[in-house]
Structure 1
Amino acid sequence: MRPRKCAGPHFRAEPLAVLPADTTAAVAAQYDPHPYRKQAGKQVKEPPVHRFDVETLTAGRWRNGGGATREVVSRPAGTEEFGWRASVADIDRDGPFSAFPGVDRTFTLLAGDGVRLACPAFDRLLARVGEPFAFSGEHAPDAQLPAGACRVLNIMVRRGRWTAHVHRVADPVESPLGHAGVLYVLRGRWQAGTDRRVLTSGQGLWWDSADNAPTGAVGPLSPDAAALWADVAPVR
């Protein structure tokens, strides 16, 4: 099946779990977790994806004191000017965002009662978990919290080099060859690869464009499963 092409206690992620053997058999038919893909008549081993748990990522406070950022990935690694970047932000109080000229951003609410982003170009209330909102980094909106702290996923790409499309998914994710990406679990259980480890809320994985993420290898394991998939593609 193809998909659509300051943390507080209430943000706490569930621990990693091990999928029971009988459950593995039950879901095996839903997607193919095999780590090999046939190319030109031969099998090529695909590099592993990179796992993360938000609660183990280092939180860096904002200069204005209004929140903290936990970086998931920034590529290319070791450079000040990123090509694309994924992070999770905990917003504690009202305040302005920084401008990022030449960057396109996508914000998605992960937890909390929402955040309003307001500037001369737009006024948008993000109140539904998993609903992405894309805007130009030239804008530096004010963040207003109508009902307390919240957590958001922030995807940033360098305009002209990368594009990003964020989707809420409940089906197996198929990442096109040559694309980078991030999968963040909103709820339920997901599995990737053959190690049988399960991803739960607040956990996820990312892959670079050179990693050739396995097609169909990231799939849901429970009826309530939902995740965010950021498909990050190079500009050809």
Structure 2
Amino acid sequence: MIRHLTAADFRPMPWANGKGVTIELARAEGPTGLLWRLSRASVIENGPFSIFPGIERNLTILTGPGFDLTGEGIALQARPFAPVAFPGDVPVTATGVTAPSDDFNVMTARNLPRPQVQVITTAQTLTPPANTLLAVYAARANSLTLTDEPLPVAPQEPLLAVLLHLPNG
């Protein structure tokens, strides 16, 4: 299965903390709630991130200079095309915001293996292992491809490739 999504398929949603808007690109639900979600958002000022109990997060800056993510036991530098991972249920604040930055977000249920987020800059065929879903996001084109089949890519821009682990059974 290969599925291509564009801006017409995406939907804006308010942040859980009410301080902004995210563009939800795709999501999957399971019997007990969220399995995974891919989204894009803009961080325009210092402030807290929303709290998501039981969720692991991964964030990659797409445009802008980036910012720092700070919280109890967390000190991360979110910089362009350098994925950073952090727990969704620990209060985290964006600090050092000097200009707007757009970011790509991956959220996964904690009971699943953490997703693998990779920046792709060279032509290759991406082959998802069994029981995974490959998501490839092209920021400039604002398009997302979801597949469980091999996918040849020849990027004109950096692509984000995410391996999402699916629940067993």
**TM-score, normalized by the shorter chain, greater than 0.5:** yes
Structure 1: stretches of 5+ with no match in the other structure: 1-46, 187-200
Matching residue within 73, 77, 91 for 1:121: 73
Larger radius of gyration: 1
Deviations, residues 120-157 of structure 1 (Å, cap 9, x unaligned): 21122212x21100111121211124312111111011
Distance 1:159 1:234, change over 3 A: same
For residues 14 and 64 of structure 2, what CA distance do their matches in structure 1 show?
A: 19
Q: How does 1:1-236 map to 2 (within 5 A)?
A: 47-53=1-7, 57-62=10-15, 64=17, 66-76=19-29, 81-127=33-79, 129-170=80-121, 171-172=123-124, 173-186=126-139, 201-207=140-146, 213-215=148-150, 217-220=151-154, 222=156, 225-234=157-166, 236=168
Q: Kindly state the Cα deviation for residue 184 of structure 1 after the two structures are TM-superposed.
A: 1.2
Distance 1:64 1:105, change over 3 A: closer
Please report the TM-score for the alignment, with normalisation by the length of structure 1: 0.62
Distance 1:148 1:66, change over 3 A: farther
Q: Kindly state the Cα deviation for residue 60 of structure 1 after the two structures are TM-superposed.
A: 2.6
Distance 1:91 1:221, change over 3 A: closer
- Match of 1:226, as an amino acid? P
Distance 1:56 1:50, change over 3 A: closer
Q: Is this contact kept in 2: 1:66–1:93, CA < 8 A?
A: no
Q: Kindly state the Cα deviation for residue 91 of structure 1 after the two structures are TM-superposed.
A: 1.5
Q: How many residues in Structure 1 have an aligned counterpart in Structure 2?
A: 166
Percent of matched pairs sharing the same residue? 22
Please report the TM-score for the alignment, with normalisation by the length of structure 2: 0.84
For residues 108 and 165 of structure 2, what CA distance do their matches in structure 1 show?
A: 9
Distance 1:160 1:62, change over 3 A: closer
Q: Is this contact kept in 1: 2:68–2:96, CA < 8 A?
A: yes
For residues 144 and 88 of structure 2, what CA distance do their matches in structure 1 show?
A: 25
For residues 154 and 131 of structure 1, what CA distance do their matches in structure 2 show?
A: 12
- Match of 2:149, as an amino acid? P
Moved over 4 A (4+): none
Q: Is this contact kept in 1: 2:131–2:165, CA < 8 A?
A: yes
Structure 2: stretches of 5+ with no match in the other structure: none
Deviations, residues 19-66 of structure 1 (Å, cap 9, x unaligned): xxxxxxxxxxxxxxxxxxxxxxxxxxxx3313223x873323336553
- Match of 1:98, as an amino acid? S
Q: Is this contact kept in 1: 2:56–2:110, CA < 8 A?
A: yes
